Chain A
Amino acid sequence: MPIFIEDLANGITKVVLTGRIDIAGSAEIDMPMSIIGGSRQAVIVDLSGVNFIASLGLRSIVLAGKTVMRRGGTMVLLAPQPAVEEVITTSGIDELFVISRDEAAAIAAVTPSPG
Chain B
Amino acid sequence: MTSVMADLGRLYPWLDDAAKHFNLPPKMLEGMHVALEEVVMNVAMHGYAHGTPGEIIVHLGTESGAAVLRVEDYGPPFDPTSVQVPAKPVSLEDADAGGLGLNLLRHFCEDISYVREADSNRLTLRFPLEVS
B-binding residues in A (CB < 8 A): 20, 22-24, 27, 52, 54-56, 58-59, 62-63, 65-66, 69, 83, 87, 90-93, 95-96
- Write out, one digit per residue, whether chain B residues 1-34 have a CB within 8 A of any chain A CB (1) or not (0): 0000100110110000000000000000010011
Q: How far is the CB of A97 from chain B (nearest CB, A)?
A: 8
**Chain B residue, CB-CB nearest to A90:** B107
Residues of B within 8 A of A91 (CB): 88, 100, 103-104
Residues of B whose CB lies within 8 Å of any CB of A are 5, 8-9, 11-12, 30, 33-34, 37-38, 40-41, 44, 88-93, 95, 97-98, 100-101, 103-104, 107-108
Q: Are A58 and B5 touching (Cβ within 8 A)?
A: no
In the complex, what's the smallest C-beta–C-beta distance from B38 to chain A, in angstroms? 6
Q: Which residues of A contact B9 (CB under 8 A)?
A: 23-24
Q: Find A69's partner among B90, B92, B97, B107 (CB 8 Å cutoff).
A: B92
Give the residue name and chain of the B residue nearest to A68 (CB): B92
| B37 near A59: Cβ-Cβ < 8 Å | no
